[in-house]
Amino acid sequence: MKITRSEPIKNNHLIAIFFASIIFTACSTSTKNLSAQAYITNQGENTVSVIDTASNQVTNTIKVGKAPVGVAIAAKLKRAYISNVESQEISVINTQSNRLIDTIKIKGSPVGIAISPDNKVLYVADWFDNKVLAINTSQTNEARELSVGDAPAGLIVSPDNKWLYVANRDSNDIAIINTDTLKIVKRITVGKHPFGLALSKSGNLLASVNVQDDTVSVYNTVHSRQDTIKVGYHPYCAAFSQDETKLYVTNTQDDSVTVLDLHAKKAIATINIGSTPEGISLDHDNHRAYVANWGSNDVSVIDTSTNRLMMNIKTGDKSRAFGQFISPR
């Protein structure tokens, strides 16, 4: 079975985006490509590939720590934070120069990583010590910690910065944490082995990707209701459409992305992409989805208006990009 207790390191070791924007003016229909950057962790070679989204080219390859997994983009700080599970540290990249500028040592094995909307707190899931760290981004030696559940993986912060959601893979639940007190206020039981999490733009919908159930649990954070929807084989990560009507889910064992209609509560498309797809992020403005493929060492670009594969961009060995990996414009 592919998903094991040592899933973040793979193979038993301890271990883009294309933004083509059409600009309409009062007198012209001329077009211009707007560039962003995608930060793709390559766990097999200890690097991060930086993709210029206007050209769809890898413009930088940055050496980081050992076995990089997670990505969190802090736009206000112009930083990309990378979790390195084997070297037990966070690499900090300046997104203007695309250079490694700092390393934050962690007592544990960081996997999932997320930044608060105000960019003041970096949250890190420690997979093996079953805790979450809350690191002050202005003083990285200042950190709080909380025991959450067994094998915490994906995590994400609500748009209002009040709640931190953590997927506990081996506890089969989602912990809801008050970000002020760093205390658990509620646990939501979901499917078996939740791993990736996604939150809609409004924060009203939370998706838990349940690896061993081949399902996604969609939880309404306002009404505390939950729906369970079938997807592909061994799903991993997910991303919401901006209008919150669709959810895109990567399936690691059948090399596909499932598109869910959240009103109908069913799959409406299956898109065949690269091998062993993991991390996924969306470019809402230009109707694109970007998927990091562990098995084929590339990033697949999907046109979300047609749900068809557009292209694959070669990256590095064992691409994962677990988290929100697209830098804003």
* Amino acid in position 163: W
**Per-residue pLDDT, 284:** 83
Please state, in angstroms and as integers, the Cα–Cα distance from residue 173 to each residue in 2, 148, 189, 196, following that order.
20, 10, 4, 12
Q: Residues 160-186: what's their mean pLDDT?
A: 97
Is the CA virtual torsion 125, 126, 132, 137 positive or negative? negative
**Per-residue pLDDT, 141:** 78
Burial class (CB in 10 A: 0-12, 13-18, 19+), 30: exposed
- Output the average pLDDT for the chain: 90
**Per-residue pLDDT, 221:** 97
Q: How many CB atoms lie within 10 A of CB 159?
A: 13
**Per-residue pLDDT, 144:** 94
Structure tokens at 56: 């769809």
Structure tokens at 127: 């997979």
Higher-pLDDT residue of 12 and 210 is 210
**Per-residue pLDDT, 35:** 74
- 68-88 burial string, b = 16+ CB within 10 Å, else e? bbbbbbbeebebbbbbbbbbb
pLDDT at 244 over 50: yes
Under a CB-based contact definition with an 8 Å cutoff, are residues 93 and 102 in contact? no
Give the model's confidence band at 140: pLDDT under 50 very low, under 70 low, under 90 confident, else very high. confident
**Per-residue pLDDT, 53:** 81
Strand pairing partners for 171?
none
| H or E segment and range at residue 91 | strand 89-94
pTM: 0.89
In angstroms, rounded to a whole number, what is the distance separating the alpha carbons of residues 171 and 261?
A: 28
Give the model's confidence band at 23: pLDDT under 50 very low, under 70 low, under 90 confident, else very high. very low
**Per-residue pLDDT, 116:** 97
